[in-house]
Amino acid sequence: MSYAAVKHSLVEWAPALAVFAIGILAWQGLVAAFNVQEFLLPKPSVIAQTFWDERGSLWDAGIYTFKEALGGFALGSSLGILSALIFAAFRPLGTAFMPFAVAANAIPIIAFAPIMNDWFGLLNPFSKMAIAAVLCYFPVLITTVRGLTSVDPRSIELMRSYAAGRGTVFRRVRIPASLPHLFAGLKIASVLSMIGAIVGEYFGGPITALGVTILNASAYSNFPVAWAGIVMASAFGILFYGAVALAERLTTSWDPSRRDFHTE
Amino acid sequence: MTETRPAVSIKGLSKSFKTGVTALTGIDLEVRPQEFISLIGPSGCGKSTLLRIIGDLIEPSEGIVEVNGKPAHRARLDHDYGIVFQEAVLYDWRTVSKNIALPLELLKWSREKRAARVRELLELVELEGFEDNHPWQLSGGMQQRVAIARALSFDPALLLMDEPFGALDEMTRERLNLELLRIWDASGSTIVFVTHSIPEAVFLSTRVVVMSARPGRIAGIVEVDLPQPRTGRTREEPRFFELVTDVRERLAAGGADIVSAEAE
């Protein structure tokens, strides 16, 4: 990155960073000024201090929960992509099943978390992966089917003019054209997988899990630890989303809809 | 001698769509090898439909269509023609080189042969230096030149062009008209060219097929006896204006609303 580019991105990000700093300061100041009780809202400085003191156990708990989220993400997204390929290749099947996928995407799937805990065992990480996987499955399925099927008809016509068969059109046109849609689904799924794992843990799990740490800390009125746990969960969530977004940038840098500037 | 067989032969062709609309009726046309023939007519005269029937992208309701002496379907499977649409229809994820090489990949050319052919074509359409750019980095005129190079890549005997310059500004269009004539001369191919523009049809063609609307019929054929090669000066010759007037009058006789046809 050149000096000018660094300077440019600093200028670009300065307003957001300023809002963040002012927000934290206002939080700190208002809690102190109105003497807000700690169980309602601890000061950011207290949360930060607790986060630092408990960093070892919070990190372990974060990793434990992130592994559940990642496992669920991998499982749910792969199944979503696989189903999407099948539904796009065999349209009648897609026509029969997709309405249910769209409907399922609109229901609060997280409500099934206690059922998953019953099925796979409270202490088994797979129960959390399962709920995360179900949460990830539908958005990935829906966006990928849309990507595979909403290809410009002229680009299909062009392939037909080259006497290309359906398999070739699928491999050379539909799949690459679906990548931006797929990544839109994966970004949603990355967020949902962390939610699925943590909420799954709220319904019970080993004490090494982040959700259980947050739950227990709240139950025993240890609010700074609960908040520090939330900060750790947020950090993992943001990093996961960022990693998927980075993969998107590296994979679909050719996508014109990503361009917000002109070259000429 | 195979030299004398027509590049395209159409006998008794008609096309009705499921909606009941008759797009084309009673079409008889022979295109001689190395001819540059334009199809001109008002919107809805079925000229794009006729082009797609020649390319076997749409099936005719009645009639026989032969390309290079064989049924249109066989000709498509044999890669006997290249096609260019109004939009460039480039694949966003492919670089300029790889877009041009796509038909060659489908024809299983070796990497070395493809690279050599792409270099020739980049020179032909004057896009050297842009081989590694993606489509979003090119202007509309450059994108269309990539599409032309791609259509010519496997050296088809016939080039089908559906208003290829219709979306471009007047200056780019006139420059690409001259380039196309140079390419036509260099490649020795036959061109069937659909256009809305009377001067463009007269400037480019050896013959102009004037069509009338609803249902689409051939209203007349104008032999363009302007000397070859055509240059920027050709558009200033009295004979050019006579031929433009001739085509215009035949369009009017065919029931075309000249004012609206020219506005398009």
How many separate domains does chain A show?
A: 2
Report whether B212 contacts B41 (CB < 8 A). Answer: yes
Same domain, A78 and A193: yes
Q: What is the DSSP string of B40-86?
A: E--TTSSHHHHHHHHTTSS--SEEEEEETTEEHHHHHHTT-EEEE-S
* A260 contacts chain B (CB < 8 A): no
Same domain, A72 and A3: no
* CA of residue A192 relative to chain centroid, distance: 5
Same domain, A99 and A182: yes
Same domain, A15 and A110: no
Tens of pLDDT, residue by residue over B192-245, are 999 988 999 999 999 999 998 878 888 889 888 888 888 888 888 888 888 888
Q: For the whole model, what pTM was predicted?
A: 0.83
Please state, in angstroms and rounded to a whole number, the distance separating the CA atoms of residues A247 and A68: 21
Same domain, A154 and A241: yes
Report whether B218 contacts B27 (CB < 8 A). Answer: yes
Tokens of A135: 């949460």
Same domain, A89 and A106: yes
Report whether B27 contacts B13 (CB < 8 A). Answer: yes
Please state, in angstroms and rounded to a whole number, the distance separating the CA atoms of residues B161 and B179: 14
Report whether B191 contacts B36 (CB < 8 A). Answer: yes
Same domain, A22 and A70: no
Tell me the C-alpha to C-alpha distance, in Å, between residue A140 and each of A90, A195, A199, B20: 18, 16, 20, 41
Same domain, A106 and A27: no
Same domain, A51 and A118: yes
Residue A232 lies in a domain: yes
Same domain, A147 and A173: yes
CB contacts of B76 in chain A (<8 Å) are 160-161, 163
Of A162, A164, A264, nearest to B139 by CB-CB distance is: A264
Structural domain boundaries, residue A1: 1-36
Q: How far is A246 from chain B (nearest CA, A)?
A: 17
CB contacts of A264 in chain B (<8 Å) are 139
- pLDDT tens string, chain A, 264 residues long: the values are 577 778 888 888 899 999 999 999 999 999 989 888 877 889 999 999 999 999 999 999 999 999 999 999 999 999 999 999 999 999 899 999 999 988 988 888 888 888 888 899 888 889 999 999 999 999 999 999 999 999 999 999 999 999 998 899 999 999 999 999 999 999 999 999 999 999 999 998 898 999 999 999 999 888 999 999 999 999 999 999 999 999 999 998 888 877 654 443
CB contacts of A160 in chain B (<8 Å) are 57, 76
Which domains can be identified in chain B, with CATH numbers?
2-80+156-263 (3.40.50.300), 88-155 (no CATH)
Residue A159 lies in a domain: yes
